[in-house]
Amino acid sequence: MPDAGRRDRPEGLGSPLGRLRQLAEDTPAHRDRYVDLLRAVAILTVVVGHWVTSAVTVTDGRLGGVNALYVVPWAQWATWLFQVMPVFFLVGGYANTASLDEHRRSGGTATAWVQSRALRLLRPTAVFVVVLVVGYAAALALGADARVARTSVWLAGIALWFLVVYLAVVALAPTCIDWQRRWGAGAILTLVALVAAGDVARVVTGSDVPATGSYVVGWLAVHQLGVAWRDGVLTRTRRPASVLAGGGLGTAAVLVAWGPYGVTMVGAAPPPDLGNADPPTLALLALAASQTGVVLLLSPVITPWLERLRVWMVVVALNAVILTIFLWHMVPVVIAGVTLMGSGLFPQPEVGSGEWFALRVPWLLVLAVLLTLLVAVLARFETSTGRRREGTAHPVAVGAGVVACVAALAGLGVTGTEGVLPPVAGLPVGELVLFGTGLTVLARADGSRPWPRRDPSRRGG
């Protein structure tokens, strides 16, 4: 009988929920579950923050957009709570150190580790980039307003800047981890000094160009705090956490109050103040230090809670698809903006008004449903992986592949659709070719064929 047959099988083992439960139960005892939680919380906070502040508008029948951060005065102070990318890079430093150490213990090389780590990021990103460009081309072919189409694709592709920076950080991680273990705090202080020099150059020249390196150097400094956390430097006593939490916040407040830095920790600041995120400044690094201290102080409180199976299952599920969530989270804004706002089906009160904030609730629900559908379809590109890399990757090939991919994504991230290289029929063909070439070189750097396979046990980490 069907019921009897069902009872003969391990309960729920064949269902997605059953497999998820098995993964959660099989979690190694040495895994730091708190790190996985922080990663998920950081990305989800970014997603919700973008959804709340991205206001699609319709003016004279034309779609447009407004960032609520520049309309609601108190929103700039709120960014001190919702600027959580430092937490993600902190967690990245911890996870990358743990992963690299394990890889080396198993006989792998740092080059093979960079190759494997980069491919995990780039395979789902390749799908995302192709869909964006094809969607843009289709919109133009169907007679869509070119300005609206460019704006929509730029908005949907807002996550690309993060991939550019994080890929660079991953490529530099083995060298910087070893550097920090030799020089201790001197490594982090050197990176902080370079960011400070960039800030001075911005003030003197009135241009952000001299501080371009701070995009990598600044986030690498936060990454190195994660290395120190993993190595136990920050957790031998509670004092480092307390000093970072209080000292970082106090320093950030002083820099903003008496320095050239703007209040907002996200996006641009009104001139002549320096924006703190594009590129990172000393003020943002101070806030990152404060967040690091708070994270460390909360660890003994939250970690026991993660031993609960149902709680941990949620964390495991989110980490398995966290890159897919981040890459695609602004696509629902474009879809809902065109279909609901563009058609007049969704009300359009004044941005920042009480009614506007009240309508954020159904707006968020619509976006959450759309993103859930997208993740259900596209998550397989993240949960698939190539064969295990055993340490034979060629350093020159890996380096060239990463540089090409970073350059291509940087070009797309700056313009959204047209690229930095000369476009072909208005499309970033040059960037696509560069990205495809870099990805192929990177995947073949160890002589293997890069066809992905399903890996049901892969979780974020």
Instruction: Give pLDDT, residue 391.
Output: 53
Instruction: Give pLDDT, residue 3.
Output: 41
- Whether residue 423 is predicted with pLDDT greater than 70 in this model: the reply is no
d(CA 323, CA 107): 28
Residue 316 and residue 36 in contact, taking contact as beta carbons nearer than 8 Å: yes
As a three-state string, the secondary structure of 294-310 is HHHHHHHHHHHHHHCHH
Instruction: Give pLDDT, residue 386.
Output: 53
Which is nearest to 222 in space by CA: 279, 260, 141?
279
Q: Which amino acid is at 98?
A: A
Q: Which amino acid is at 238?
A: R
Percent of the chain's residues with pLDDT above 70: 89
Residue predicted with more confidence, 188 or 337:
188
Which is nearest to 99 in space by CA: 112, 119, 113, 118?
113
Which is nearest to 269 in space by CA: 210, 205, 203, 213?
203
d(CA 217, CA 192): 8
What is the residue extent of each domain of the chain? 32-450
Length of the chain: 461
Instruction: Give pLDDT, residue 457.
Output: 45
Residue 22 and residue 13 in contact, taking contact as beta carbons nearer than 8 Å: yes
Q: Which amino acid is at 41?
A: V
pLDDT tier, 450 (very low <50, low <70, confident <90, very high otherwise): very low
pLDDT tens digits for range 218-275: 999 999 999 999 999 999 999 999 999 999 999 999 999 999 999 999 877 777 789 9
Instruction: Give pLDDT, residue 188.
Output: 96
pLDDT tier, 1 (very low <50, low <70, confident <90, very high otherwise): very low
Please give the average per-residue pLDDT across 165-175, as a whole number.
96
Residue 163 and residue 405 in contact, taking contact as beta carbons nearer than 8 Å: no
pLDDT tier, 419 (very low <50, low <70, confident <90, very high otherwise): low
Residue 255 and residue 261 in contact, taking contact as beta carbons nearer than 8 Å: yes
To the nearest whole number, what is the mean pLDDT of the chain? 86
Q: Which amino acid is at 72?
A: V
Rg of the Cα atoms in the chain: 23
Angle between helices 160-183 and 85-105 (to 10 degrees): 60
The pTM for the full model equals 0.89
Please give the average per-residue pLDDT across 154-168, as a whole number.
87
